[in-house]
Amino acid sequence: DIVMTQSPDSLAVSLGERATINCKSSQTLLHSSIDKNYLAWYQHKPGQPPKLLFYWASTRASGVPDRFSGSGSGTDFSLTIYNLQAEDVAVYYCQQYYTSPWTFGQGTKMEI
Amino acid sequence: EVQLVQSGAEVKKPGESLKISCKGSGFSFANQWIAWVRQMPGKGLEWMGVIFPGDSDTRYSPSFQGRVTISADKSISTAYLQWTSLKASDTAMYYCARPTRGGEPPFDNWGQGTLVTVSS
């Protein structure tokens, strides 16, 4: 199985500041023939189901504010939140879909 | 509007059986895969398996193969997750979700979750 490792496990950032979460995969997620990285990001708030933020590593899902940014390629990826807002408090997960079983990172808890 | 509505919370004893459900609306349920995802208390997300209701084609994560059964009834747009003999370690929140690429992630719509508590 592909192992997804996120860092840090938790992160406290002031309102209005920038937060970056890293995600590293145990093998490449880049499908070179189509030049796409099989990596998604989700936001999971307490009492709610997870919400898709990004797919193909950097394609923003519908309705996601543009202060969220996904980047990276191969084995190293990042989720950056600019101008952090109170409603961004959540656990963030990366997920690879290069190879089944589709695996998630352990999650990063974002706090203010 | 795409919606996945799951059945309510369950409290069971070890050894009991259980079947939880996920009803889809707002899309062609028979022609869309439905996945199940587990979240154990204080832990992360784990993909369990996926089903295509149109023909009941089912794929399981090796971690869950043989431990749960995924099924669907396309006539009522409902997918199921079933246990024959629950264990305390099955205590978790279970989500259904809709993959966007055939049976593969990402998952763009999620049910609200079903909390399963197994305790003697």
A interface test, pick of B95, B107, B112, B115 with most A CB neighbours within 10 Å: B107
DSSP string, B58-95: EEE-TTTBTTBEEEEEGGGTEEEEEESS--GGG-EEEE
Would an 8 Å CB–CB cutoff place B112 in contact with chain A?
yes
Long-range Cβ contact pairs of A31-40 (< 8 A, separation 24 or more): A31/A98, A37/A72, A37/A73, A37/A74, A37/A77, A38/A96, A38/A97, A38/A98, A39/A70, A39/A72, A39/A77, A39/A94, A39/A95, A39/A96, A39/A97, A39/A98, A40/A94, A40/A95, A40/A96, A40/A97, A40/B105, A40/B106, A40/B107
Query: Which letter does DSSP use for residue B14 in this model?
Result: T
> If we measure between CA atoms, which residue out of A71, A1, A73 comes closest to residue A36?
A73
- Mark yes or no for CB contact A49/B112 under 8 Å: yes
Question: Could you tell me the pLDDT band of residue B62, with boundaries at 50, 70 and 90?
Answer: very high
- Residue A89 to chain B, least CA–CA distance (Å): 16
- Mark yes or no for CB contact B97/A51 under 8 Å: no
Would an 8 Å CB–CB cutoff place A105 in contact with chain B?
yes
Polymer length in residues for chain B? 120
All residues at 6 or more sequence positions from A22 whose CB lies less than 8 Å from its CB, including other chains: A6, A7, A76, A77, A78
How many beta-carbon pairs below 8 A join chains A and B?
57
pLDDT at A64: 97
Question: Could you tell me the pLDDT band of residue A9, with boundaries at 50, 70 and 90?
Answer: very high
* Per-residue pLDDT reduced to its tens digit, A20-62: 999 999 999 999 999 999 999 999 999 999 999 999 999 999 9
* Per-residue pLDDT reduced to its tens digit, B99-113: 988 888 999 999 999
Distance CA A25, CA A96 (A): 8
